[in-house]
Amino acid sequence: MDPSLSTPTRQTSSRGNNHISAGDTTKEIPPTSSKLPFDRIMEESVSQITTMLSNILEHHGHANQCLASLEEDLAHTKLEEEKLKAMIEALEKEKSEMNAKVALMERKDFYDLLEVKVEGF
């Protein structure tokens, strides 16, 4: 029997492609999957991009939470700073008043000493 008239047989090339051989002509058999290679690549790419975007959004959400927390801490710190400034001002005023009282007492003591010396003279 003539080999060119025989029923085509399926052969696998060294590259793993499926071919139908019938004499001198070879035809590629489409993959068993209904999707073309380009479609599979695009689907995988879209899936990877979707995953990356999801991760970015998750990190963005976390970053926003951290930022909100830092802003809250900053507001609290500014409030504490204002309280401390008010306390410092109050203490400086009290110090000034105490210094004035001390100066007054020193003068009184000085005058008392003068009176004692004058009376004893």
Rounded to whole angstroms, the Cα distance separating 114 from 107 reads 10
Q: What pLDDT, on the 0 to 100 scale, is given for residue 106? A: 84
Identify the pLDDT of residue 27. Answer: 57
Q: In whole angstroms, give the CA distance from residue 110 to residue 108.
A: 5
User: In this predicted structure, what is the pLDDT of residue 104?
Assistant: 86
Tell me the β-bridge partners of 19. Answer: 11, 28
C-alpha 81/C-alpha 17 separation (Å) is 75
Asked if 10 contacts 18 with a C-beta cutoff of 8 angstroms, the reply is yes
Per-residue pLDDT of the chain (121 residues; tens, 9 = 90+): 455 554 444 444 454 555 455 555 555 555 555 678 888 899 999 999 999 999 999 999 999 999 999 999 999 999 999 999 999 999 999 999 999 999 888 888 777 776 766 665 5
